[in-house]
């Protein structure tokens, strides 16, 4: 009999066939040679069954039927891929051994185990564990196949993670939904991520900006000109700042202190998936999901990068020769000049900035392979370029600078100057044709009194013994700034580092290398929050909706605030890691999860039902309005809003079931409340608040009036919209213009036909 190879996806199966049996015959859904039959899953062919598979009564949602805790979890095939599952079943009958070639990680292990369990496959199993799909790596992996039993604990951890998520998601979502009569999705990862967004938005809304003043001096000594910032307590009185500026202007001073240090800046770390997603969002505007999808195509379809779903920025000793081979393969490509200028000697086993086996778990950092990149789409080329340049930078020396710190004293006042003099570009030559790479920490918050550092390419220096002239001095007005709204890039960073403030040291350590979610699932979590109507995008900014706000407030008010905290995920990840290593019991873990699911239901059951107005974002007010209203400064944020009307109980159950298990995006509505009369002449309609804006009840018969809720850096309230409609303007507000400038002014209704808004500065 033959050996059945099961890959995770078709491209992976074809790559394996080409490497180990190139003469095998392609039968569309499988490839067969003399020794092997190679087939594949298509992602998850099988999932956990919905509650009504256990009892028909669960088709109707009733809080008294909760918690739902199966004694044994039932599996159900994905209807869309049922044919491929049947193919695997029939092929397995002809084979006496299986090789698990699904992705080398927890999810890949789980996909295979579900197929094995559902089809009751009893053949012995071998495991392929590789990090890229080059023919050499595949052949080497087959020469070093492991016994499937070595990964049994990883299977237990993967199964426990999935079943635990089901228990929390199904029971939590059903409990909150039935108690408050609006579809509310709850999840172990998505809920604390939503809480991060909620807390950031509340901080921004409650932020009180303060004015302060800085004094900048312009100095000269011979042919050297430089500027310095006044040193002292923050100035809040403009007269004090002006007095200091007038006092020093035109006066002689002296160099009170002058320090020069040699500084080296080393290349940034190699990419893991989350870092790649963060930077692709910042530089290219890609969503986390788009980056993951493109990276997967570069890995699976084009085979030009290694396995992308990694959480490591390092490689092992075995990867060093592969890196040298990949470097050589870049010669003769668009990277020829950079590849030829590289120093191979910098990438070696002793370089702990690159090679650190202790920090490589399942997969090493993302690397280009030695395959030539051809036929890439424009977006694939952009992401590949980021990966290749980051890789090449490791073969270049540190950038070298002289750091100059000057303290200049004039009339008893001290000014500080920081100058960074470039000596050698080093690895930054890789990016010389691009915009300047930001430092690891990004820009500092504007509300900090930053010690501005000026970077220069020419030699800089002062004579500490000679006099200095203060040519000019000016007072500059500044405002403290609130934290910035999350983008997908900054949210990914927050998810990755979540839990660092947890007091429990063990839990904090468990989250140190995991955070909220995994590199492979974080993009899906963000997409899920969008799909269930908890967040919306305003350009790159993530904005929480009214539904999202209320969900977090209800969960915290119910006394299950642990659901909104990274701490629970930290505890889970610690235990799951122990299960994967064989140091903890998956059965005990599941018992604890069942107790927690039961506690959630008990807490929600006695919670006071909230007023329907708390879910005003769930009305069908502005359905059909998919345009963006233009303002005097460009386009105001927003987009179309649509919501589904009220449903029958079975419909509501199915919609919410999909919501709890990662499926559909249905919205259950409450009664809309009138905010104001539509101001459009002759309309006669009423304005209601939708999820993204205030639309007219007469939209079905052609009224295009809509005011977008998120406009000019504000999330408009009902009373502000009412003032716009009835008085034509709001009260004085702190606003952000469309070019990012902060100002004070009123939002005015510019066009009563469309709802177009503008800013009137005061």
The pLDDT tens digits for 95-139 are 999 999 998 888 899 999 999 999 999 999 999 998 778 888 899
Angle in degrees, CA 304, 310, 314, rounded to 5: 85
The CATH number given to 273-397 is: 1.10.290.10
Residue-wise pLDDT for 2-52, tens only, equals 999 999 989 889 999 999 999 999 999 999 999 999 999 987 899 999 999
pLDDT of residue 376: 96
Q: What's the mean pLDDT in 735-744?
A: 78
Give the three-state DSSP class for 567.
Answer: helix
Closest to 140 (Cα-Cα) out of 324, 344, 322: 322
pLDDT at position 568 over 50: yes
| Percent share of the chain, pLDDT over 70 | 87
Average predicted confidence (pLDDT) for the chain: 86
> Which residues partner with 470 through β-bridges?
219
pLDDT of residue 91: 98
Residues whose CB falls within 8 Å of the CB of residue 505, separated by 6 or more in sequence, listed in order: none
pLDDT of residue 447: 36
For domain 2-144, give the fold: Rossmann fold (3.40.50)
Q: What's the mean pLDDT in 710-724?
A: 85
What's the whole-model pTM score? Answer: 0.75
pLDDT of residue 715: 82
Burial of 393 (0-12, 13-18, 19+ CB in 10 A): buried
pLDDT of residue 394: 98
- What confidence tier does 620 reach under pLDDT thresholds 50, 70, 90? very low
Helix 488-497 × helix 522-531 angle, to 10°:
120
33-72 burial: b if 16+ Cβ within 10 Å, else e: eeebbbbbbeebbbbbebbbebeeebeebeeeebbbbbee
Q: What's the mean pLDDT in 143-147?
A: 97
Name all contacts of 139-148 with Cβ < 8 Å and 24+ positions apart. Answer: 139/19, 139/20, 142/19, 142/20, 145/99, 148/98, 148/100, 148/124
pLDDT of residue 610: 85
Q: Tell me which of 619 and 702 has the higher pLDDT.
A: 702
pLDDT of residue 633: 30
pLDDT at position 644 over 60: no
Give the three-state DSSP class for 528.
Answer: helix
Among 452-466, 476-490, 509-523, the least confident range:
509-523
Distance (Å, rounded) from C-alpha 616 to C-alpha 334? 54
Closest to 288 (Cα-Cα) out of 43, 519, 511: 519
pLDDT of residue 503: 56
- What confidence tier does 467 reach under pLDDT thresholds 50, 70, 90? very high
Q: Could you give the residue numbers annotated as active site?
A: 307
Question: How many C-beta atoms surround the C-beta of residue 592 within 10 A?
Answer: 13
Among 181-190, 267-276, 565-574, 749-758, the least confident range:
565-574
> Which residues partner with 131 through β-bridges?
none
> Which residues partner with 755 through β-bridges?
none
- What confidence tier does 673 reach under pLDDT thresholds 50, 70, 90? low
pLDDT of residue 131: 79
Among 196-205, 210-219, 493-502, 624-633, the least confident range:
624-633
Residue-wise pLDDT for 42-96, tens only, equals 878 999 999 999 999 999 999 999 999 999 999 999 999 999 999 999 999 999 9
SS3 percent helix, strand, coil of the chain, rounded to 5, is: 40, 20, 40
pLDDT at position 518 over 70: yes
Residue 579 has which token pair? 């299960």
Kind of pairing between the strands at 36-40 and 2-7: parallel
pLDDT at position 185 over 90: yes
Ordered by start, the domain boundaries in the chain are 2-144, 161-206+484-615, 211-266+400-434+451-479, 273-397, 674-761
Q: What's the mean pLDDT in 356-360?
A: 90
- What confidence tier does 445 reach under pLDDT thresholds 50, 70, 90? very low
pLDDT at position 658 over 60: no
pLDDT at position 507 over 70: no
pLDDT of residue 510: 55
- What confidence tier does 524 reach under pLDDT thresholds 50, 70, 90? very high
Residue-wise pLDDT for 343-354, tens only, equals 999 999 999 999
Among 213-222, 424-433, 632-641, the least confident range:
632-641
Q: Which CATH superfamily is domain 211-266+400-434+451-479 in?
A: Topoisomerase I, domain 3 (2.70.20.10)
Closest to 104 (Cα-Cα) out of 127, 125, 137, 129: 129
Q: Tell me which of 525 and 762 has the higher pLDDT.
A: 525
Q: Tell me which of 443 and 166 has the higher pLDDT.
A: 166
Q: What's the mean pLDDT in 194-200?
A: 95
pLDDT at position 544 over 50: yes
631-651 burial: b if 16+ Cβ within 10 Å, else e: beeeebbbbbbebbeebeeee
Q: What's the mean pLDDT in 583-591?
A: 96
In terms of residues, how long is the chain? 762
Residue-wise pLDDT for 601-619, tens only, equals 999 999 998 876 777 653 3
Closest to 6 (Cα-Cα) out of 87, 79, 82: 87
pLDDT of residue 684: 83
Does domain 161-206+484-615 bear CATH number 1.10.460.10? yes
Residue-wise pLDDT for 399-413, tens only, equals 999 999 999 999 999
Residue 79 has which token pair? 């209807």
- What confidence tier does 669 reach under pLDDT thresholds 50, 70, 90? very low
């Amino acid at each position: 009999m033959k050996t059945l190879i099961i890959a995770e996806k078709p491209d992976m199966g074809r790559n394996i066939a080409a490497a180990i049996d190139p003469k095998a015959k392609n039968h569309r859904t499988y490839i067969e040679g003399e020794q092997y039959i190679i087939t594949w899953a298509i992602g998850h062919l099988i999932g956990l069954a919905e509650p009504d598979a256990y009892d028909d009564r669960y088709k109707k949602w009733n809080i008294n039927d909760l918690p739902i805790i199966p004694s044994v979890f039932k599996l159900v095939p994905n209807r869309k891929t049922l044919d491929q599952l049947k193919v695997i079943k029939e092929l397995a009958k002809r084979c006496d051994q299986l090789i698990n070639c699904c992705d080398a990680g927890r999810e890949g292990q789980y996909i295979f185990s579900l197929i094995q369990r559902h089809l009751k496959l009893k053949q012995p199993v071998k495991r392929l564990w590789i990090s890229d799909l080059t023919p050499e790596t595949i052949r080497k992996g087959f020469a070093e196949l492991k016994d499937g039993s070595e990964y049994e604990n990883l299977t237990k951890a993967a199964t426990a993670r999935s079943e635990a998520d089901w228990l929390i998601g199904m029971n939590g979502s059903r409990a909150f939904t039935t108690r408050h009569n609006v579809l509310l999705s709850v999840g172990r990862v998505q809920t604390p991520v939503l809480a991060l967004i909620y807390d950031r938005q509340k901080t921004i809304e409650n932020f009180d900006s303060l004015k302060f003043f800085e004094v900048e001096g312009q100095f000269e000594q011979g042919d050297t000109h430089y500027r310095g910032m006044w040193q002292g307590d923050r100035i809040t009185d403009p007269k004090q700042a002006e007095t200091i500026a007038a006092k020093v202007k035109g006066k002689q001073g002296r160099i009170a202190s002058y320090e020069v240090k040699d500084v080296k800046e080393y290349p940034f770390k190699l990419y893991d998936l989350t870092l790649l997603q963060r930077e692709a969002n910042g530089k290219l505007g890609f969503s986390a999901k788009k980056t993951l999808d493109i990276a997967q195509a570069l890995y699976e379809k084009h085979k030009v990068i290694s396995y992308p779903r990694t959480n490591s920025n390092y490689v092992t000793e075995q990867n060093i020769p592969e890196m040298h081979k990949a470097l050589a393969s870049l010669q003769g490509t668009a990277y020829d000049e950079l590849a030829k200028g590289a120093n191979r000697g910098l990438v070696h086993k002793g370089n702990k900035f690159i090679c650190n086996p202790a920090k490589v778990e399942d997969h090493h950092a993302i690397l280009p392979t030695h395959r030539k990149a051809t036929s890439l789409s424009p977006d694939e080329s952009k992401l590949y370029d980021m990966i290749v340049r980051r890789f090449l930078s490791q073969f270049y020396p540190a950038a070298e600078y002289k750091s100059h710190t000057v303290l200049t004293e004039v009339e008893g006042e001290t000014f500080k100057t920081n100058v960074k003099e470039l000596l050698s570009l080093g690895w930054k030559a890789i990016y010389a044709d691009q915009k300047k790479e930001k430092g690891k920490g990004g820009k500092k918050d504007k509300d900090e009194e930053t010690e501005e550092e000026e970077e220069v390419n020419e030699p800089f220096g002062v004579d500490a013994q000679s006099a200095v002239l203060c040519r000019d001095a000016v007072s500059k007005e500044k405002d403290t700034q609130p934290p910035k709204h999350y983008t997908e890039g900054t949210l990914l960073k927050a998810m990755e580092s979540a839990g660092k403030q947890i007091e429990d040291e063990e839990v904090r350590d468990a989250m140190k290398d995991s955070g909220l979610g995994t590199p492979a699932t974080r993009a899906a979590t963000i997409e899920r929050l969008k799909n269930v109507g908890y967040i919306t995008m305003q350009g790159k900014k993530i904005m929480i909706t009214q539904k999202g706000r209320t969900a977090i407030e209800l969960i915290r008010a119910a006394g299950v605030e642990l659901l909104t905290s990274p701490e629970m995920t930290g505890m889970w990840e610690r235990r799951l890691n122990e299960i994967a290593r064989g140091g903890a019991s998956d059965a005990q873990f599941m018992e604890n999860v069942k107790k927690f699911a039961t506690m959630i239901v008990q807490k929600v059951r006695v919670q006071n039902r909230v007023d329907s107005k708390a879910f005003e974002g769930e009305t069908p007010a502005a359905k059909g309005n998919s345009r963006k209203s233009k303002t005097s400064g460009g386009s105001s944020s927003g987009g179309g809003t649509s919501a589904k009307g009220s449903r029958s109980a079975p419909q509501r159950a199915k919609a919410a079931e999909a919501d709890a298990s990662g499926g559909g995006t249905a919205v259950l509505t409450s009664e809309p409340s009138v905010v104001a009369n539509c101001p459009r002449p002759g309309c006669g309609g009423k304005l209601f608040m939708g999820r993204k804006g205030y639309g007219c009840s007469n939209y079905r018969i052609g009224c295009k009036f809509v005011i977008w809720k998120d406009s000019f850096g504000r999330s408009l309230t009902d009373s502000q919209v009412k003032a716009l409609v009835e008085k034509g303007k709001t009260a004085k507000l702190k606003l952000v213009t469309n070019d990012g400038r902060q100002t004070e002014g009123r939002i005015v209704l510019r066009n009563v036909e469309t709802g177009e808004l503008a800013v009137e500065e005061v």
